[in-house]
Structure 1
């Protein structure tokens, strides 16, 4: 039997444009794109933190997948109080559906709004890839001695993809989300940075459908991305992948372990 014919540019683009983007489940990319994971294993480490905590807030939970995975590893050793927030309505619905079985309420709260919780309500605040860490609010809702444990997106993350579509970016854009700047902001809010680690990790896109889906899902990579607006550049990248192999980029991640000092 002859092998199936390679899919065309139009077929791959149409497939990438049709896949739903809700939540942070990236299983669709299996076999089509890869990203190395940080050495600290955030989900595994989060499970250990949850097992030792009493009251926990998960900020910008996405579709709830990371929290659900971490809880699955520690049940029945779980916090007595656990609540999540999310700002994007499709993700609110997805996270609510997923986390309901865990007994975790999901509060719809805009990403740039103050947290709708009392001062000192939590001994652990967690987040994976927040859009912007609101350090003053994190400090406010943490109890004295409480911890913020989070994985952030670092500077110049996936810049190879960004600059392929948008052209060279100013130096200031490359330093956005820099861990040293975020450390200074955390300390200015009265928090103590106990540990801060950063890694740069290899990514590979094996077909243009994966690129289209990634840009639709991670919307801040190329703001306003549509297939129609970038069809010519997508075709150029497709031809490059066909000729040279996977398109290689690098993600940036850093891990914050932050404590609110006792009075």
Structure 2
């Protein structure tokens, strides 16, 4: 059991509420929360894919951190054409600042809108944790023989946190984002799924500031979350962590690779 922190509940909540939420850099959580990583190492694997591609689209790039890392590991070269999309304005600004020096334009495009690109424009489409994979659009912009290579959030991810605040969730919520369903959707769009791997991974929240920041950053976990609305539940969870040690949850991730037939 971890020793109780010397900081008060109010101090910790204020700290978690003050941290900026733009982008997908999770370095602030170091020492406050941990999450096991999938065995396939998506960002590094993406670097290898970039090195062998000619025209690449990164969908919902967030703050551009994953693509930036992958470009740093790509060898011996990089695609002749590489473009990213992002729908949340604060992330558009952050991704532009990070990726523009690498010569990567970031296109502001709503997550639920058609891609603003021509049919067959890319031989590789990638994404890490898209809100919803738009399979028909992915298939449309892929050239024949092109590949979609992505890491998705799986079913009932971090539901231990969700259900602590919202109570038991309906079965349909638990089944959403299931890899078998995404395989079926990809195939319905005309793609062939050539690789699909899923893992559940241990997460630990070591203090309530990490929970607050997580729920502010990953806004779909507890929709409409504010410290004021959930202060009583936050205090209860704080006291539980202080008495019992880290709050344990499990994330769900799957790697999916789908190919557009040449004919």
TM more than 0.5: yes
Partners of 1:253 and 1:201 lie apart in 2 by: 8
Task: Give the unaligned 5+ runs of structure 2.
Answer: none
RMSD over aligned CA atoms reads: 0.7
Partners of 2:248 and 2:106 lie apart in 1 by: 36
Give 1:179 shift.
Answer: 0.5
Residues 106-150 of structure 1: CA deviation (Å, up to 9, x unaligned): 000000000000000000000000000000000000000000000
Superposed counterparts of 1:210-249, under 5 Å: 210-249=210-249
The residue aligned with 1:250 is 250
Partners of 2:237 and 2:76 lie apart in 1 by: 48
Q: Is the 8 A contact 2:47 2:75 kept in 1?
A: no
Q: Secondary structure at the match of 1:126?
A: strand
The residue aligned with 1:91 is 91
The residue aligned with 1:169 is 169
Q: Is the 8 A contact 2:48 2:75 kept in 1?
A: no
Residue 150 in 1 paired to residue 150 in 2?
A: yes
Say how many residue pairs are matched.
259
Give 1:75 shift.
Answer: 5.5
Q: Secondary structure at the match of 1:145?
A: strand
Partners of 2:207 and 2:170 lie apart in 1 by: 28
Superposed counterparts of 1:78-117, under 5 Å: 78-117=78-117
Give 1:76 shift.
Answer: 5.6
The residue aligned with 2:131 is 131
Residue 199 in 1 paired to residue 196 in 2?
A: no
Stretches of 4+ aligned residues off by more than 2 angstroms: none
Partners of 1:14 and 1:110 lie apart in 2 by: 31
Partners of 2:220 and 2:102 lie apart in 1 by: 30
Give 1:240 shift.
Answer: 0.3
Partners of 1:158 and 1:202 lie apart in 2 by: 9
Partners of 1:76 and 1:234 lie apart in 2 by: 49
Give 1:57 shift.
Answer: 0.0
Give 1:74 shift.
Answer: 1.6
Partners of 2:12 and 2:157 lie apart in 1 by: 25
Q: Secondary structure at the match of 1:216?
A: helix
Task: Give the unaligned 5+ runs of structure 1.
Answer: none
Partners of 1:159 and 1:53 lie apart in 2 by: 37
Residues 33-59 of structure 1: CA deviation (Å, up to 9, x unaligned): 000000000001000000000000000
The residue aligned with 1:34 is 34
